[in-house]
């Protein structure tokens, strides 16, 4: 028996919603705990399936992991296993983030390659070439990526593209390397800054967090620490778009509003009144009167518009007044989401990296299938603007990224239920 969401369109979302720690941060921070012997504590962890999966993956490497509410306690032993090819590892899309810490700590790693993803191909060439510059040999064998090094040394590394995953792995290997590493064209996402902050608290010497050039002076060893995971800016954006699309009034807490500067600017351009609350977790409020206006979106690495928010941009454009152009520069297959939107009555066409969407007054309910976390959330947002009941299937994708999604939607006044099918 599986479950799906039934979304009855028409409600205006009104109220307050709390955002917890970022999925794209917590998994990397849990991996970073491998770098120091002893107990590392993470707070503000989101209640999503990937966290216990990562806990199992770390246990398979010899750690003890205790999850209690929003707290994760990870005790890392002096001797770690470097075989990250267990069943738990295989189930985890973000498994690749243990590669850098294991190479840093054990000088070798065997990591199960992450499973295929519906958003498109996810090559690892930059992870490999970065680790090779640090002195490791890497190759693919029996479905795993293998890395081995006599010892790691500092290096000058230029990334072809500011990849989050490659930046994280190279950074986590470089903190324990001998000498200084410079990563140029590094990713600048807030989750990278969060990781740099935690590594620095552990004793790493990193300069340039949040800029394109990260300089890492290697140290002999790191100490465990306690760290609070940053709020999830993608979940925050989801609520902002939901408010704008349903002509609602939503106050979002638990996220740094400046991590969403461009998102909030786009919502303003669409006609929303946006209030920003200064302070780390104070969030923002989006109020929309009337139909949103069409806006163009281009996905780019941070501080550009995040590819993870692209499905919400498409959903908004589908009901906006006018024509929008959406350009996807990171994951080509993300446009598959548009076929599901067309089932809901969206007037949309794609051509290569571009989608043109002519907004319609109202979408029309239909059964639709989520293909990844954000596409799934985007379909629910679209369902909120459709007549009748939209059935959204394959909701396990959505629940990988949104703790208490249905509960939060209902709290804001949406008519959404979980149905067994």
The pair of structure tokens assigned to 334 is 């993300």
Q: Is 127 in the site for ligand UD1 (CB under 6 A)?
A: yes
The pair of structure tokens assigned to 340 is 């599901």
Beta-strand ranges (E) seen in 229-319 are: 249-253, 273-276, 284-287, 297-298
Q: Is 164 in the site for ligand UD1 (CB under 6 A)?
A: yes
The Cα angle at residue 15 between residues 13 and 20, in degrees rounded to 5? 100
- Nearest position to ligand UD1, beta carbon: 165
The pair of structure tokens assigned to 164 is 């989050």
Site residues for ligand UD1, window 96-125 (CB under 6 A)? 122-125
Q: Is 209 in the site for ligand UD1 (CB under 6 A)?
A: no
185 carries a ligand binding annotation: no
Q: Which of 246, 256, 307, 324 touches ligand UD1 (CB under 6 A)?
A: 307
Q: Is 308 in the site for ligand UD1 (CB under 6 A)?
A: yes
Which among 18, 56, 85, 117 is annotated as catalytic? 117
**Separation CA 209–CA 197 (nearest Å):** 8
Selected range binding ligand UD1 among 30-38, 132-140, 161-169, 311-319, rule: CB under 6 A: 161-169
Q: Is 195 in the site for ligand UD1 (CB under 6 A)?
A: no
232 is catalytic: no
CB 397 within 8 A of CB 371: yes
Q: Is 165 in the site for ligand UD1 (CB under 6 A)?
A: yes
| β-strand partners of 253 | 18
Site residues for ligand UD1, window 77-96 (CB under 6 A)? 94
By DSSP bridging, strand 389-393 and strand 3-8 are antiparallel
**Separation CA 120–CA 287 (nearest Å):** 34
Give whichever of 126 and 146 is closer to ligand UD1, judged by the CB atom. Answer: 126
408 carries a ligand binding annotation: no
Give whichever of 122 and 268 is closer to ligand UD1, judged by the CB atom. Answer: 122
The pair of structure tokens assigned to 412 is 């804001």
Q: Which of 163, 238, 317, 390 touches ligand UD1 (CB under 6 A)?
A: 163
The pair of structure tokens assigned to 23 is 């999925």
Taken in order 174, 180, 184, 186, the sign of the CA dihedral is positive
Q: Is 235 in the site for ligand UD1 (CB under 6 A)?
A: no
Q: Tell me how many residues contact ligand UD1 (CB under 6 A).
A: 18
Smallest distance from ligand UD1 to CB 27, Å: 6
3-state secondary structure string across 337-404: HHHHHHHCCCEEEEECCEEEEECCCCEECCEEECCCHHHHHHHHHHHHCEECEEEEECCHHHHCCCCC
Q: Which of 55, 126, 170, 382 touches ligand UD1 (CB under 6 A)?
A: 126
Q: Which residues are annotated as a binding site?
A: 23-24, 93, 308, 330
Catalytic site positions: 117
Binding site for ligand UD1 (CB under 6 A): 24, 94, 122-127, 161, 163-166, 306-308, 330-331
Q: Which residues are annotated as a binding site for phosphoenolpyruvate?
A: 23-24
Q: Which residues are annotated as a binding site for UDP-N-acetyl-alpha-D-glucosamine?
A: 93, 308, 330
């Amino acid at each position: 028996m599986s479950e799906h969401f039934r979304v009855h369109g028409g409600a205006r979302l009104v109220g307050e919603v709390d955002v917890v720690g970022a999925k794209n941060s917590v998994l990397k921070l849990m991996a970073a705990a491998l770098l120091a012997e002893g107990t590392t504590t993470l707070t503000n962890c989101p209640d999503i399936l990937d966290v216990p999966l990562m806990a199992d993956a770390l246990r398979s490497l010899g750690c003890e992991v205790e999850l209690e509410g929003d707290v994760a306690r990870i005790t890392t032993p002096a001797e770690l296993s470097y075989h990250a090819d267990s069943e738990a590892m295989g189930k985890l899309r973000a498994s690749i983030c243990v590669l850098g810490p294991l190479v840093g700590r054990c000088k070798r790693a065997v990591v199960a390659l992450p499973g295929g993803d519906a958003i498109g191909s996810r090559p690892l060439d930059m992870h490999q070439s970065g680790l090779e510059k640090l002195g490791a040999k890497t190759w693919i064998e029996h479905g795993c990526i293998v890395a081995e090094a006599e010892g790691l040394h500092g290096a000058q590394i230029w990334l072809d593209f500011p990849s989050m995953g490659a930046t994280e792995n190279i950074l986590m290997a470089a903190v324990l390397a001998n000498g200084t590493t410079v990563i140029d064209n590094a990713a600048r996402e807030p989750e990278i800054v969060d990781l740099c902050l935690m590594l620095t608290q552990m004793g790493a010497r990193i300069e340039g967090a949040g800029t394109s050039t990260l300089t890492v002076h290697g140290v002999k060893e790191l100490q465990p620490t306690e760290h609070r995971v940053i709020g999830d800016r993608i979940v925050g954006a989801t609520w902002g778009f939901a408010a704008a699309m349903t002509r609602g009034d939503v106050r979002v807490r638990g996220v740094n509003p400046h991590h969403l500067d461009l998102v909030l600017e786009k919502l303003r351009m669409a006609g929303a009144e946006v209030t920003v609350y200064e302070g780390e977790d104070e969030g923002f409020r989006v109020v929309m009167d009337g139909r949103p206006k069409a806006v163009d979106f281009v996905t780019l690495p941070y501080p550009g518009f995040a590819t993870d928010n692209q499905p919400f941009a498409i959903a908004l454009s589908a009901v906006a007044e006018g024509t929008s152009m959406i350009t996807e520069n990171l994951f080509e297959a993300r446009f598959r989401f548009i076929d599901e939107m067309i089932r809901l009555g969206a007037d949309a066409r794609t051509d290569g990296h571009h989608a043109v969407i002519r907004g319609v007054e109202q979408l029309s309910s239909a059964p639709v299938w989520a293909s990844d976390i954000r596409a799934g959330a985007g379909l629910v947002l679209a369902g909120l603007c459709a007549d009748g009941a939209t059935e959204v299937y394959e909701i396990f994708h959505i629940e990988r990224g949104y703790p208490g999604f249905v509960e939060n939607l209902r709290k804001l006044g949406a008519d959404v239920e979980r149905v067994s099918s």
